[in-house]
Amino acid sequence: MAAPDQTLAPTAQAIEDIALATLEALPPEFRAHLGEVVLIVEDFADDETLAALGIEHPLDLSGIYHGRPVGEKSSSDSGAVPDRIHLYRRAILEEWIETNVTLGDLVSHVMIHEIGHHFGLSDDDMHALEDSVA
- Please report, as a single letter, which amino acid is at residue 38: V
Q: Helices (H), strands (E): how many in the chain?
A: 6, 3
58-84 pLDDT tens trace: 999 999 998 876 666 555 556 567 889
| β-strand partners of 86 | 40, 64
| Secondary structure of residue 87 in the 3-state scheme | strand
Residue 59 near residue 94 (C-beta atoms within 8 A): yes
One-letter identity of residue 13: Q
Contact 63, 94 (CB under 8 A): no
- DSSP characters for 8-47? SPPPHHHHHHHHHHHHHHS-HHHHTT-TTPEEEEESS--H
pLDDT at 71: 61
**Domains of the chain and any CATH numbers:** 12-67+83-133 (3.30.2010.20)
Task: Look up residue 122 and give its DSSP letter.
Answer: -
Beta bridge partners of 17: none
Instruction: Give me the mean pLDDT over the 28-43 stretch.
Output: 86
What is the structure's pLDDT at 2?
47
Q: How confident is the model at residue 90 (pLDDT cuts 50, 70, 90)?
A: very high
Whether the full predicted model's pTM is greater than 0.95, yes or no, is no
Per-residue confidence (pLDDT) for residue 109, from 0 to 100: 92
